[in-house]
Each structure stands twice: as structure tokens, then as C-alpha cells.
Structure 1
Amino acid sequence: MDSLTLLWYDYLIFILVLLFSISIGIYFGFFAKNNQSDPSEYLQGKKQMSPLPVAVSLTASSTSVSILLSYSSEAYSFGANTFLLIFGMIIAYCANKFIYLPVFYSLEIDTVYEYLEKRFDKRARQLASSIFTICCVCFMSMTIYTPALALSAVTGFKLQYIIVGVSCVCIFYTSVGGFKTVIWTDVLQFFVVLASLLTTLGLAVGSSGGFRQMWHKAVTSGRLDIFEFDPNPTRHSSVWIIVIGYSFTFMSITCVDQIFVQKTRSIRNIESASKALIFFTVGHYFIVVVCILLGLAMYAKYWNCDPVSANFIQKPDQLLPYLVMDVGNQIPGVSGIFVSAIFSSSLSLQSAILNCLSGSIYSDFLKPFVGEIPESRILKLTVLGLGVLCTVLAFVIQYLGTLFHIIFTIVGATGGPILGMFTCGLLVPRINSKATFYGTLSGFVICLSIALPATYYQAQSGQNQYLKPISTSCLNQTLRNETTTDQSKSPWLFQISYFYYSVIGTIVTAIVAFFVSCMTQKKNFHVDKNLISPIARFLVEKAPENSGRSPTLNGYLSIGDAFSGGVATWAPAPRGRRDVGSNVGGDMRVEKETFTTEKYVQWV
């Protein structure tokens, strides 16, 4: 593929975007009126964020390089089935609003995995946090390597220098500025990405004969035949695969993912948080639609000369850069905006992962061992250490070939078991800690046992039989979809669509957890009603009265340092009183109560 030609103004645009990101970090780190020594300020902005910037930040973080490059090539090669993603997004929004968000928002937790310790035990918390950490480190290494590779091809600079330089920018402004820096740099970077996509779309539609011509070619080629109700789970896509599979996948991303929950909990109140979820859903789907239209515009322009089959480019993921090079070279600044957009989406995701991972690792693993070291210093050092680790891994990735596909498969396969773990905890009060641990572990192992071999088989055979028609008549070559692939050698299980991995992981986790819980359940098992989703609290059994005490207690409820299974103990109150509100769970109402420890639970 011919390289893009960047002129001085293209470099200027790219440098200005990086300088703005650095300046935001410097402002919040040294000049803004906030307390960076407070972990709540550093990790969640002291819960004073407004819904709109948080929604834009969530959209920017979810608009990764893979979406920018892959969604457009997906529409070009397989059609616009991804228009149906809106149904999965709406289902995920409703689930988040009514099941997950009310519980997570009301708890005083630094990471979403603290809920698992309160609901189950520390082992469950560390299992989920470990899976999240490993996957995020691998994924962030990919987000460092992929745009660096693109810029290296454009500029001719050495890949190693670009990886180190851009990583240093992200590490600096994230570690110095903390959570508010992540939010506001995401806002800046989102509009850079949006400007780039809309500019490219306008140029592509214009060069292909206008919107009507683009739409006509998409219809006649079958790329808008999106309502295919074939229940076969091995298809590339169908209504059932998109709606069911993406609902679970999007729920695992938006409902129980540490990055998403941390940003949502930074908003002032739960009503504003719910509003931010609506803004995010609209914004994210808008980006998806723009990418789909870019794919259709690509087909309208290259319908008789497929760049992949003609060997102008090596893989479909390079179609969008090729399009920018083709239609934008004559307009000053278009190439610079596009390169800035690629790096903005990468920086946005890197900063979000660094900030959230630092909080997760500190709270779930390091907190008992740091002693008197200030928490803010530990958080910043953790960001620095993670950034260095991911930068080193980015150098390794260039030698691993198909790891890009493998990493995304692992990310999809791990979302289901973790979603199953949280869902069991929130909706099934009788599930205990042992059942949840083994259920999640089983779901994780089974998902990987399917996903990893499937990655190998699909790399060998692919799904070329589902490719939409394309021609290379400009080179007197045959249609790219005339040759169908024989998948008879591939076992049926390994042909299942990757959209269903989250569904499989969630269902396996729930089933195993249910049966293990039935076999290991102890008598008099009770759970704090505040750890159960509001729609399932009617299933919570009322705890028996203790020692004949009346509902008006003069004592305290304590769980010590570890909350296992939600079992509370009652003890007489010592001297001194403290206001705790009018409701201590269930039917027990008190106006004043006394506590001898910092940690307590509300007895149901």
C-alpha cells in the first residue's frame, strides 16, 4: 500500500493534539483546585462529575482503534448487519439501570470487584480482578502497537521510537492528572475522532457519486439484507447472533467492567448517572453508524476494484487508511486529522485502562501491604509500572502474528464468566461464595476451550462463504466470494460465532454456581439486602431475631475485616452513640446506633 504523505500542517495537527492532552494533565495535576492525595479524587473525581463529559469519555474509550478500522471493513465485506447492534445496546442499558447500577452506585467501593468481596469473599474478588487485569494489560499493549504501526508506515519513523514516545505521553498525563484528566482528555480526543470520521465520510460519499448512489449499490449488492433470521449459530452474523450475543457482550462491557463502572460512579447522583448511560448509548451507536456508512461508501467507490483482492493492501483492516489516502490527499490537513484520530482513540483507551487498573490493583492486591505509604503515591506508581509493562509487551506483539485476533477472542470469552458471577450475586440471594468461585472458573475454562481452538480453525478456513459480492474487473480478476471454503474439517463447536462466547460463559457460570450452591449451602444463610438488586430483593429471606431482641436495637452489627456470605453478628453496644440513619435494612429501624469498627453491614 502506498504510504500517506504528511505535510507540515499534518504534523502540526498531530502535535497539537498531544500537547493539549499533556496540558490538561498538567492543569489538573498542579493548578486545579482538587486534592490529588485523596484516592477518591484521583480515581473518581470526588463524585462531582457531570453526566455529559462522562458520557463523552465513555464513548471515546469504547471507540477504540478496532472499532474505527474493523466496523467499516465489516460493512464493506459482510454487509451492514451491525446496524442491529442498537437492540443489544438498549437491552444492556435497561439491565444496567435496573439491575447493576443501583447496587454499585450506593456502595462505598473503590473498584467494582469490592462488591464481590462484600457479597461473597475475597477469593471471588481476586479471581475476577485477576482476569480483568491480565486481559486489560494484553489489550492495552495492542492499543499501543496498532496505531504506532500505522504511524510508522505513514511517516517512516522507527516503530520503537513511536511506541515509546506516545506511551510516555499517555503515562504522564494519566499519572499526574488522575481521573479528571482522563475524562477531559477523552472529551478532546472524542471530538478529534468524530471530526476525522465525518470528514472522511463526506469525502468518500462525494467521490462515489453521492449518498443516493452509495445506497443503491449497497442495496443491489445485498449489503443491506440485515434481517436474516437463520438460527444457525455458526453463521457470520444474523438477527439472533447480533441481538442475543451482543446483548451479553455489551452488558459485560457496560454493566460490570471496572472501567465503565468507575466512570459512571464519578457522577453526582444516580439519576445523572442514568442520564449519562443514555448519552453514551446514543453517542456510541452514532459512531457505529458512521463506521458502517464508511464501509458502504468504500464499496460504492471500490465495487469494481477491490483493494484487498487487487493486492493494493494486505488485509481488510487497512481499508479505512487506504480510503483516507485515496480521497483525502488533495485536501490539506485531512491526513493529519486522521492520524490524530487514530492516536486519540488509542490514547483515550490507554488512559482509561491505566487509571482504572491502578485503582483495581491497589484495592484488590496492594492495599494490605503498603503500610504508611500515601495511597496517591502508590496509585501513580502503579500507573507508571503498568505503562512501562504494556510498552514492553507492545515490542513483543510485533513478532506474534495473529495475537491481535487471539487477544480480542480472550477479551470476549472472559466477559461472560465475570458477567455471570456478578449477575448471580445480584439476582440469586441463595448463591454462596464457593459456588460462585467454581462457577466462574468453569465458565472461564470452557470459554477458552472453545475460543482458542476456534481462533485456529477460523484462521485456517475463515468465513469467506459469507462475503458479499465484490469485483476486481479493473484487473480482470474473479469475484472474491466465488470461492467457498470447506469447513467440514472444523468441528461444529469451533464454528460458533464469537458473539456467543459471552452467552456461553454467563450460562455455564450460572448453571455450575447453582448446582454447587445446592450441594454446599449451609443452614441459616443470610445476605445483606443492600447487596441484592432491587428487582430481586423480594427473594431475600428475613434473618431470624437474635436473642429475643426487639427491632429497636441498642447494639451493633459487625463483620470484621472480611464479609463472607453476608452473615452478620450482633453484639451489645458500648458507650457512646452515633447517627446511622433511620433504616438498618429489612424491617429494623433505629434512629441512633453505635459501632465499634469502621466496617459494618445492614442486617436484613
Structure 2
Amino acid sequence: MSRYRGHRSSTGEWIRKVTMPTQGSTIFESVTTVLPQVSKMIPSISFSWYDYILFCTMLGLSAMIGIYFGCFGTKQNSANEYLMGNKKMKVFPISVSLVASHISGLTLLAVPADVYRFGAAYWLFVPAVVPVVLFTIYIYLPVFCKLQVTSTYEYLERRFDKTNRLFASFLFTLGLFLYLPIVIYIPGLALSAATGINIHYITPVVCGVCIFYTTLGGLKAVVWTDTLQFTVTTGAVIIVTVIGIKSGGGVGEIWAKALEGHRLELFDFDPDPTKRDTFWTVSIGFTFGWLSMFIHQSCVQKFLSVPTFRQTKITVVYFTIGITVIASFSIFIGLMMYSRYAHCDPFTTGVVQKSDQLLPYFVLDVASHVPGLSGLFIAGIFCAALSTLSASLNCLAGTMYEDFVLKVTGPINSDKRAALVLRVLVVIIGVVCTLLVFVVERLGGLLPLAISLGAVTAGPLLGMFTLGVVIPKASCRGTFYGSIMGLVFVSWVVTMAQYYKAQGLMVNVPKPISVDSCPANVTTVAPSLTTLDIFNVTQSTGDPEQFKPFFLFRISHYYYTPLGTMVTIFCGILLSCVLRNDDPPVDRDLLSPIIYGLLDEKVPDEKSKEYYRLDKALHLVTTNWEKDDCAKIKT
């Protein structure tokens, strides 16, 4: 009970009583009688007509961009233009689009709420981006740029075989189908809380607009709508930050309260991997997590849409700076929310029921006197979600087209027909993701499970690409079986961890909070016990110390991606050595330049290489190499 020190003894006695299983009725009596009375005393805040106008204007402009690129000019009549913008895109809009598509409602809503409850350890992602940028520019991107692949998983087929490519595409597709409904649901929940409109009406309308402009305009519409939406999002975040600083008494006062409330304990060097937020767990976890994101299909597709490799490197740097700045704003907003509610916790009073509602409540609270600002900010949150959704629809359609549709139909010779197939895929994917939102809202535990599943699929994918570009001895079968082992192993760890959390045997204890300054003398009820703590207490059937889950099940969620990557790489190398390897020699074009010094000088590049397997030779033919190159293939 050390986390509640500083309150009077009667408070401590109350807390000790409610943590006993036999006193569960005391908790629910307090929650059902006192807290609702407190919530009634807090003024009701909601959207005004200014807010509705701004929100609808944003949706209308996004739709008009899609109409422009879909119905005028070249009309996106080829697969290359639809997916890659004919490789004539500029650095700035591509960089902005990358930032916009990776700043979703999770960043703008979940991160501030997490900082409010658990502190600003998330800020340790900043030092992690330095090695990520270096690894991306000097290890992975040179290979992708040289090969000019439409799908990053096409690389896995060239490096290994079709089986590895299809498995990687399957992981990518599964991850997005589980992630996108959450991206849609979180801001929909926020808008529903602000307007009172049923989320069942909000989701189809907003998603329909996104599907419409993505289907018509392709990558160009995605990039330019992302630019518009990023401008709205950034402007809203900056304005709210300024107003929040003013309402909190200035940066110094906010910082002082954050220090006092233990929200800035960033440099915890405890090596214990079971602790939720330490310097090592966050830094290492983000290094692997960001690296998997940078070689993600949605990123690489845009990296390669600029004309030169130099511009690609500049795009990576701009992307990193942009996402770092926006994420830092989100973290500081979390500190501002703590400064305002440090002594009147909205979760305890019942005003806020879910973490995703905390930031909209804060915005409506501090900015309701500025006409239209609340609507601008909620529109900014939805812009972030739409940017992520549109980019994901575009790249997922490209992946499914390259890796699944063409495997069934064979090459599509007509550019117009190929573009039509891509548009149909976008519509189908968008409709499925929209329908899955109605599943998400009925499965309350799906959000943490889906985030964990994203890490589980990211780890094996990062391991597969790493084996391909830096381990010349990695074989087809070794990499395939290694990635399966990585997926199964981390899935097992995540599943068991979620199970024990559901049983109340593993609880992430938040930082201290209180309700000392709330109306109705709430401090006599629960000065520092939030609703989530109450839930965790009542879910425990006994003393958690009587049973401690296995060590691996208790590791921080930040370690899931590193764990999946390391298991995949280790098993891939081991199995490549153990299993009979009949793969041909690997050509230089498929390996990272950083290991060229370790290669045999006789190893040729792909254009001059003699192939020893029929599927490799057929691949060379289908990619339209010049006749003099094709003549070198051995029969």
C-alpha cells in the first residue's frame, strides 16, 4: 500500500478493507451510489454547430481530392500509377503522408491516456529512432531500391521462394485486418462520446468516405488527403497544447506536477524484463518495433515512390522527425491532462469510462470556450485514423493483388483491368474492416490482444527480412520454418499473458492519483483508487502472491517484437545449417551492401547469375529481363 502514502489513515483503512475479497460489496456500493452523484455535478460538454461544420468540411475536402485524382488527369489507369504514383512523387508530400498514415487514433488518444496513468516512459522512443534510421537506410532500403519491388514480399520470393513470400503476405494481411478495425473504432468512440451520435451511424459514413477517395484516387489521393489531414491534425494538436499549457498554469507548473506525481521517471535502468516501463524495455522494444514498421509494406511502398535513392533517404529522415514531433506532443498532452486532473481523476468519478474518452473530455473541458476548436480537434483525430486507414487500404490492396490475385488469375495484361481489380480490392477490404468494427465493440479485450498480435506478426516478419538481407547462408526451408517457430512461440507467450491478466494474476499498477479536489467530498470514499484498480481488485479470486505465472508470460509487452525477431533469426540460422540446403548461391542484389566485404568475390549479381533451379529461372523470365540476360539461364 506504499503507493497510497500521504493520505490520512482512514483512507488507508478503507483501501485495506476493499482489497479483501470479502469486502467486494463495499466497492460496488461506492461505485454505484457516490460516483454517479459526482458525475452529475460535472457540467455536460458537447459539440456545437461550429464543430459539426468543421468536421463535415474535412470529410468533404478529402472526398473531393479522391474525385480529382480519380476522374481527371491520368485517372490512375495502371497498377504502377495506382500503387506507386509512377515513381514521380515528391519528397515533402510523401514524408507528410508517411507521418500522417502512422499517426492514428492510438497515438493521439491512447498515448496521452497511457502517460496520464503510467507516466511518460513512452518518450524513450526518441533515442531508439537513431539506430532505426541507420539500419533502414544502410541495411534494408538499398536492397529494396535496387530491386524496385512493388511488394516487399516480392523480395522474399526472389531471395527464398514462393512459400516464404506467401507466408509473409499472410502475416501482413492478418495483422492489418485485426489492426484496422481498432484504428476505426477508437476515434469513432471518441466522436460518439463528444456528439452523442451512435457509433453504428458514425463508422459506416466516415469509413465510406475514406473507401471512396482511396478507391478513386489511388496513391496520389492517399498522399494528398494525408497532407490535408496531417495539416488539420497538427494544427489541432498545437492549438490544444497551447490552450492546455495556459489552463495548466504554464510549462513549469505542468512539469512540476508531473515530477511530483512520478510521471517523469524515465531512467529506470532496472534490467528486469518483467517491469512494464524501464529504460531497457522501452528502448529495446521500440528499436525492434520501429524497425519492423520502417520495412513494412506501407512504408516501403511510399519510400520507393520517389525517383532516386537519395530522395528516399531524405524521406526516411523527414518521416522520423515528423512522427517524433507529433508523438512528443501527444506525450506532453498526457502530462497536461495529469496536471489538470491530478486531484480529481475522471476515471474515479465515472465521468470517463474508457481511456480513449479521456483526451476528448479534456479538449471539450479546456477548449469549449473557443468556437469550433473541439470539432477541429476531433476532426484531427479522425483525420489521423483516416490517413492510416487509406494508406493501409492502398498497400494491402497492392499486396493482395501481387501475392494472391495474380497467383490465381495469372498476369493481367491490361493496365485498366489491373487498376479496376485494385479498386475492387480496396472496396472489399474497406467493407470488411468496417464490419469488423461492430465485432470489436463487443469484444472489450480485443484492443490489447490486437496490439499484441501486431507485435507477434511483426517479429517473424522482421526476422525473415533480416535473414534475407544479412545472412547469405539462410536457406528457404530454414527461414520458413524459423518464422513459423517465431510466430508460434510468441503467440504462445502473448496468449498466456493475456489469459493471466484476464484472471487478475498480473496487474499493471498505475501511478498514484487522487480525487481530493472533486465535489461531494469524494476523498472520504476513494482518494486514489481508480475504476481500473477497482476492476483489478474484484477480478482477483485470491492473493496473487500464491501463484506467480511463468517468467516469459510476465515480460513487458515491449519485448514481444524483439522476442519474435530473435527466435525467428536463431531458428532460421540453426535450421539452415541442419537441413539439407540445395539453394543456389545468393546474388549480391539480394543482400545488403554492408556485408559485401564478407562475400566471395566470385558471387555474381542477379543479371549475370546462372540459375540452378527451375523456379528461379522462371522468375527471371517473368520479370522481363533483356534477351541477352535470359540466354544465360541454364537449361
- TM-score, normalised on structure 1? 0.89
Partner of 1:6: 47
Change (3 A) 1:30 1:165: same
Change (3 A) 1:220 1:144: closer
Choose between structure 1 and 2: higher helix proportion: 2
Partner of 1:66: 106
Partner of 1:23: 64
**CA deviation after TM superposition for structure 1 residue 467, in Å:** 2.4
**CA deviation after TM superposition for structure 1 residue 568, in Å:** 9.2
Task: Return the match for 2:628 from 573, 576, 594.
Answer: 594
Take 1:161 and 1:464, find their aligned partners in 2: how far apart are those partners? Answer: 35
Change (3 A) 1:309 1:205: same
Matched, 1:389 2:432: yes
Change (3 A) 1:221 1:119: same
**CA deviation after TM superposition for structure 1 residue 561, in Å:** 7.5
* Count of equivalent residues: 570
**CA deviation after TM superposition for structure 1 residue 16, in Å:** 0.7
The DSSP-based 3-state class of the residue aligned with 2:454 is helix
* 1:546-576 deviation digits (Å, cap 9, x = unpaired): xxxxx9x9x9856887339x9999xxxxxxx
Residue pair 1:454, 1:495 contacting (<8 A) in 2 also: yes
Partner of 1:332: 371
- TM-score, normalised on structure 2? 0.85
Stretch moving more, 523-532 or 101-110: 523-532
Matched, 1:356 2:395: yes
Take 1:150 and 1:218, find their aligned partners in 2: how far apart are those partners? Answer: 25
Matched, 1:562 2:615: yes
Q: Which amino acid aligns with 1:386?
A: I
Task: Return the match for 1:456 from 479, 494, 499.
Answer: 499
* 1:252-285 deviation digits (Å, cap 9, x = unpaired): 1112x11011011111111111111111111111
Matched, 1:535 2:594: yes
Matched, 1:405 2:448: yes
Take 1:197 and 1:93, find their aligned partners in 2: how far apart are those partners? Answer: 26
Residue pair 1:434, 1:517 contacting (<8 A) in 2 also: yes
Stretch moving more, 308-317 or 169-178: 308-317
* 1:69-95 deviation digits (Å, cap 9, x = unpaired): 111112211221122111111111111
Take 1:103 and 1:240, find their aligned partners in 2: how far apart are those partners? Answer: 30
Take 1:223 and 1:152, find their aligned partners in 2: how far apart are those partners? Answer: 30
1:12-411 alignment, distance < 5 Å: 12-32=53-73, 34=74, 36-255=76-295, 257-370=296-409, 372=412, 374-411=417-454
Partner of 1:430: 473
Take 1:454 and 1:579, find their aligned partners in 2: how far apart are those partners? Answer: 50
Residue pair 1:3, 1:153 contacting (<8 A) in 2 also: no
Take 1:462 and 1:60, find their aligned partners in 2: how far apart are those partners? Answer: 38
* 1:187-221 deviation digits (Å, cap 9, x = unpaired): 11111111111122122221121111111111222
Matched, 1:497 2:561: no
Residue pair 2:104, 2:388 contacting (<8 A) in 1 also: yes
Matched, 1:478 2:478: no
Task: Return the match for 2:458 from 415, 421, 424.
Answer: 415
Change (3 A) 1:149 1:518: same
Query: Percent of aligned positions with the same letter in both sequences?
Result: 37
Stretch moving more, 68-77 or 480-489: 480-489
Residue pair 1:525, 1:567 contacting (<8 A) in 2 also: no
**CA deviation after TM superposition for structure 1 residue 242, in Å:** 1.2
CA RMSD of aligned residues (A): 2.7
Take 1:146 and 1:109, find their aligned partners in 2: how far apart are those partners? Answer: 33
**CA deviation after TM superposition for structure 1 residue 144, in Å:** 2.0
Gap runs ≥5 in structure 2: 1-38, 538-542
**CA deviation after TM superposition for structure 1 residue 67, in Å:** 0.9
Residue pair 2:248, 2:254 contacting (<8 A) in 1 also: yes
Q: Which amino acid aligns with 1:303?
A: A
**CA deviation after TM superposition for structure 1 residue 135, in Å:** 1.1
Partner of 2:7: none
Take 1:299 and 1:579, find their aligned partners in 2: how far apart are those partners? Answer: 61
Residue pair 1:135, 1:410 contacting (<8 A) in 2 also: yes
**CA deviation after TM superposition for structure 1 residue 12, in Å:** 0.8
Q: Which amino acid aligns with 2:628?
A: T
**CA deviation after TM superposition for structure 1 residue 24, in Å:** 0.7
**CA deviation after TM superposition for structure 1 residue 157, in Å:** 2.6
Take 1:241 and 1:279, find their aligned partners in 2: how far apart are those partners? Answer: 26
Change (3 A) 1:388 1:304: same
Q: Which amino acid aligns with 2:356?
A: D
Residue pair 1:470, 1:479 contacting (<8 A) in 2 also: yes
* 1:166-185 deviation digits (Å, cap 9, x = unpaired): 11101110010000111111
The DSSP-based 3-state class of the residue aligned with 1:113 is helix
Residue pair 2:500, 2:506 contacting (<8 A) in 1 also: no
Residue pair 2:75, 2:217 contacting (<8 A) in 1 also: no
* 1:315-361 deviation digits (Å, cap 9, x = unpaired): 33322111012111111011111221121111101101100011000
Q: Which amino acid aligns with 2:567?
A: V
Q: Which amino acid aligns with 2:260?
A: T
Take 1:500 and 1:299, find their aligned partners in 2: how far apart are those partners? Answer: 27
Partner of 2:30: none
Partner of 1:583: none
Take 1:465 and 1:178, find their aligned partners in 2: how far apart are those partners? Answer: 43
Partner of 1:589: none
Change (3 A) 1:529 1:478: same
* 1:114-144 deviation digits (Å, cap 9, x = unpaired): 0000000000000000011011012111222
Residue pair 1:116, 1:124 contacting (<8 A) in 2 also: yes
**CA deviation after TM superposition for structure 1 residue 463, in Å:** 6.8
The DSSP-based 3-state class of the residue aligned with 1:473 is coil
Take 1:4 and 1:82, find their aligned partners in 2: how far apart are those partners? Answer: 30
Take 1:596 and 1:492, find their aligned partners in 2: how far apart are those partners? Answer: 55
